[in-house]
Structure 1
Amino acid sequence: MERSAYTEMAAIDENHWWYRARRSIVADVIQKNIVKGHPLSIGEIGCGTGSNLPTLRHFGDLIAVEPDAQARAIAANRCDTKVLAGRLPDDLPLGPNSLDLAVMLDVLEHIEDDVAALKAVLQTLKPQGKLLLTVPALPSLWSPHDEEHHHKRRYTASSLSLVLGQAGLRIEMKSYFNTLLLPMIAGIRWLKNLTGSKSVDTGIPAPWLNGLLEAIFAFERYLIGTLPMPLGVSLIVIARAD
Structure 2
Amino acid sequence: MDPAIRKKMRECEDTLWYSLGMDRIVMRLMDMYIDRPKNFILDIGCDTGRSFRVLSRYGDVVGVDKAREAREYADVSDQGKIFVGDAAHLPFDNNSFHIVTCFDVLYHRWVADDVGIMREAYRVLKSGGLFILKEPAFDWLRSQHDVLYETRHRYTRRELIQKLKAAGFSVQKSTYANFLLFPLAVFTRIIEKFFTRLHSIDSLCADVPVFKYFLFTEAWFLRFVSFPFGLSILCVAKK
Q: Compute the TM-score of the two structures, normalised by the length of structure 2.
A: 0.93
Instruction: Give the match for residue 223 of structure 1.
Output: 221
Instruction: Give the match for residue 43 of structure 1.
Output: 42
Is 1:232 aligned with 2:230? yes
Q: Tell me how far 1:78 sits from its aligned partner.
A: 6.4
What is the one-letter code of the residue matched to 1:147? V
C-alpha contact (below 8 Å) 2:32/2:223 kept by paired residues: no
Deviations 1:170-227 (A, max 9, x none): 211000010001111121122213432321531243xxx31x1111122111122412
Instruction: Give the match for residue 118 of structure 2.
Output: 118
Q: Aligned-pair RMSD on alpha carbons?
A: 1.5
Q: Distance in 1 between matches of 2:15 and 2:30?
A: 22
C-alpha contact (below 8 Å) 2:130/2:238 kept by paired residues: yes
Judge which range, 114-123 or 184-193, deviates more.
184-193
C-alpha contact (below 8 Å) 1:182/1:232 kept by paired residues: yes
Judge which range, 223-232 or 77-86, deviates more.
77-86
C-alpha contact (below 8 Å) 1:112/1:152 kept by paired residues: no
Q: Distance in 1 between matches of 2:88 and 2:194?
A: 36
What is the one-letter code of the residue matched to 2:14? E
> Of residues 101, 104, 108 in structure 1, which corresponds to 2:102?
104
C-alpha contact (below 8 Å) 1:51/1:78 kept by paired residues: no
C-alpha contact (below 8 Å) 1:47/1:75 kept by paired residues: no
Judge which range, 176-185 or 193-202, deviates more.
193-202
Matches within 5 A, 1:167-178: 167-178=167-178
Where structure 2 has 5 or more consecutive residues not aligned to the other structure, the ranges are none
| SS at 2:204 equivalent | coil
| SS at 1:195 equivalent | coil
C-alpha contact (below 8 Å) 2:137/2:232 kept by paired residues: yes
C-alpha contact (below 8 Å) 2:164/2:170 kept by paired residues: yes
Matches within 5 A, 1:85-164: 85-90=84-89, 92-110=90-108, 111-164=111-164
C-alpha contact (below 8 Å) 1:9/1:49 kept by paired residues: no
Matches within 5 A, 1:16-95: 16-34=16-34, 36-77=35-76, 79-90=78-89, 92-95=90-93
Q: Compute the TM-score of the two structures, normalised by the length of structure 1.
A: 0.92
Deviations 1:123-164 (A, max 9, x none): 010001010000000111112211211221000011111211
Where structure 1 has 5 or more consecutive residues not aligned to the other structure, the ranges are none
C-alpha contact (below 8 Å) 1:139/1:153 kept by paired residues: yes
Q: Tell me how far 1:87 sits from its aligned partner.
A: 1.2
Q: Distance in 1 between matches of 2:20 and 2:224?
A: 21
| SS at 1:41 equivalent | strand
The percent of aligned pairs where both chains have the same amino acid is 26
| SS at 2:120 equivalent | helix
| SS at 1:190 equivalent | helix
Q: Distance in 2 between matches of 1:149 and 1:5?
A: 8
| SS at 1:50 equivalent | coil
Q: Distance in 1 between matches of 2:223 and 2:145?
A: 28
| SS at 1:237 equivalent | strand
What is the one-letter code of the residue matched to 2:96? S
| SS at 1:58 equivalent | helix
| SS at 1:65 equivalent | strand
Q: Tell me how far 1:76 sits from its aligned partner.
A: 4.5
Matches within 5 A, 1:172-191: 172-191=172-191
| SS at 1:19 equivalent | helix
Judge which range, 129-138 or 227-236, deviates more.
227-236
